[in-house]
Amino acid sequence: MFTRMNAWHRWAGLLALVSTVAFVTPVHAAPTAFGAFPNNAASVAAAIANVPTNAGVVYDALSQTNAVQVYNFNELVYTGPIDVSLTLARIRAGYCITAESNDGGFFNFNPGELPNIPRKGNNYYMEFVVWFSINIASGTYDKTVEPFGTVGFPGPMRLLIGLGGEVYFTGDHYGSGLQANAYFVNPVPVPGLFNITSIAPQGNDMLITWQTLGGETNVVQATTGTSGSYSSNFTDLSPIIIPKGGDFTTTNYLDVGGATNSPTRYYRVRLVP
């Protein structure tokens, strides 16, 4: 009887210990309060005043919004839509992310950096951190949340805002991925850059060359007929073609035997949703 009671006391103590461990609540750091832009407050206010209040959606060079890419130290961590309205709202409120010294500072380009952004002289563009875990109402941001499951603060996403209100987004601030150019927020790029640039015979074959974005899904289509009668009769000719990276690029497809086909073929390239 004594032995059984002693065993019961040992089990009771073990259960109490397990219970204590199981119900410990993890402690998270409190959100960090925004600060004021310390050195360039007047320039920040002037620049953001020129940005339309409805701006925020990020566009690629083809005016598409569904394939914006984010690279974190050479790893592609996200492809999809990005909206930076929250970042623009906190800049309008005069809120600076004080834990990142470059937030609100002037951005001057290294040679070859972000080549699609027009150069307008030193101290024209300002740099801002894009961090989604912010609360405008409470004036705080949370550094402990990891966007896309892997990205630690301050992450690779940035906005460049020109003093004239131009807004560009980069999802590869660390420069280790394939996204060399910036994306567009304001103004939106003019549609029409996605197009066939040449169709040239290569012996018995036909080489179709076109402009597109790396990471987009392309398919070459063909049809036959006379001008004006073929627009609805295109069928897929090529397999799916996905150029590497997320940047504006040129790619091609060789239609084997295309130069000797009869009747004449007409080509087009479509982006697959």
- Give the tens place of pLDDT for each residue, 82-109: 999 999 999 999 999 999 999 999 999 9
> Do residues 75 and 149 share a domain?
yes
> Do residues 143 and 61 share a domain?
yes
Residues recorded for the chain: 273
Count of other CB atoms within 10 angstroms of residue 62: 19
> Do residues 43 and 131 share a domain?
yes
Is 8 within a domain? Answer: no
Q: Tokens representing 236?
A: 């897929």
Is the pTM higher than 0.85? Answer: no
Confidence of residue 248 (pLDDT cuts 50, 70, 90): confident
pLDDT of residue 232: 62
Percent of the chain residues past pLDDT 90, beyond the cut: 58
Percent of the chain residues past pLDDT 70, beyond the cut: 85
> Do residues 176 and 51 share a domain?
yes
> Do residues 130 and 207 share a domain?
no
CA triplet 78, 79, 82: central angle to 5 degrees?
Answer: 90
> Do residues 47 and 182 share a domain?
yes
pLDDT of residue 74: 87
Let me know: does 37 contact 48? Beta carbons within 8 Å: no
Phi and psi for 92 in degrees, rounded to 5?
A: -60, -35
Q: Which of 122, 154, 186 is the last residue of a domain?
A: 186
> Do residues 155 and 63 share a domain?
yes
Is 16 within a domain? Answer: no
208 Cβ contact list (under 8 Å, min separation 6): 196, 198, 199, 220, 252, 253, 254, 255, 267, 269
Query: What is the mean predicted confidence (pLDDT) over 55-75?
Result: 91
pLDDT of residue 13: 39
Is 9 within a domain? Answer: no
Q: Which residues pair with 71 in a beta bridge?
A: 76
Is 3 within a domain? Answer: no
In tens, the pLDDT along 150-167 reads: 999 999 999 999 999 999
Closest by Cα among 76, 101, 250, 88 to 178: 76
Q: Which of 186, 219, 234 is the last residue of a domain?
A: 186
Is 2 within a domain? Answer: no
**pLDDT at residue 16 is higher than 50:** no
Confidence of residue 43 (pLDDT cuts 50, 70, 90): very high
Q: Which residues pair with 36 in a beta bridge?
A: 95
Is 4 within a domain? Answer: no
Calpha distance 234→219 (Å, rounded): 11
Tell me the one-letter amino acid at 232. Answer: S
Q: Which of 133, 157, 186 is the last residue of a domain?
A: 186
Closest by Cα among 243, 245, 264 to 255: 264
**pLDDT at residue 25 is higher than 50:** no
Calpha distance 69→210 (Å, rounded): 21
Domain count across the chain: 2
In tens, the pLDDT along 118-138 reads: 999 999 999 999 999 999 999
**pLDDT at residue 230 is higher than 60:** no
In tens, the pLDDT along 187-203 reads: 998 776 788 999 999 99
pLDDT of residue 228: 55
> Do residues 110 and 224 share a domain?
no
Confidence of residue 237 (pLDDT cuts 50, 70, 90): very high
**pLDDT at residue 258 is higher than 50:** yes
pLDDT of residue 231: 56
pLDDT of residue 273: 67
> Do residues 156 and 105 share a domain?
yes
Is 24 within a domain? Answer: no
Question: Residue 267 belongs to what domain range?
Answer: 196-271
Confidence of residue 245 (pLDDT cuts 50, 70, 90): low
Report strand pairing: 167-170 vs 158-162.
antiparallel
Is 191 within a domain? Answer: no
> Do residues 243 and 150 share a domain?
no
> Do residues 42 and 148 share a domain?
yes
Confidence of residue 24 (pLDDT cuts 50, 70, 90): very low
Question: DSSP for the chain?
Answer: -HHHHHHHHHHHHHHHHHHHHHTPPP-PPPPEEPEE-SS-HHHHHHHHHTS-TT--B-B-TTS--S-EEEEETTEEEEEE--B-HHHHHHHHTTEE-TTSTTTTEEE-PPTTSSTTSPP--TT-EEEEE--S-EETTTTEE-SS--GGGTPPTT-S-EEEEETTS-EEEES-TTS-SS--SPEEEESPPPS----EEEEEEETTEEEEEEEEETT--EEEEEEESSTTS-TT--EE-S--B--SSSSEEEEEEEETTTTT-SS-EEEEEEE--
Q: Across the chain, what does the average pLDDT equal?
A: 84
> Do residues 41 and 134 share a domain?
yes
Q: Tokens representing 103?
A: 């937030």
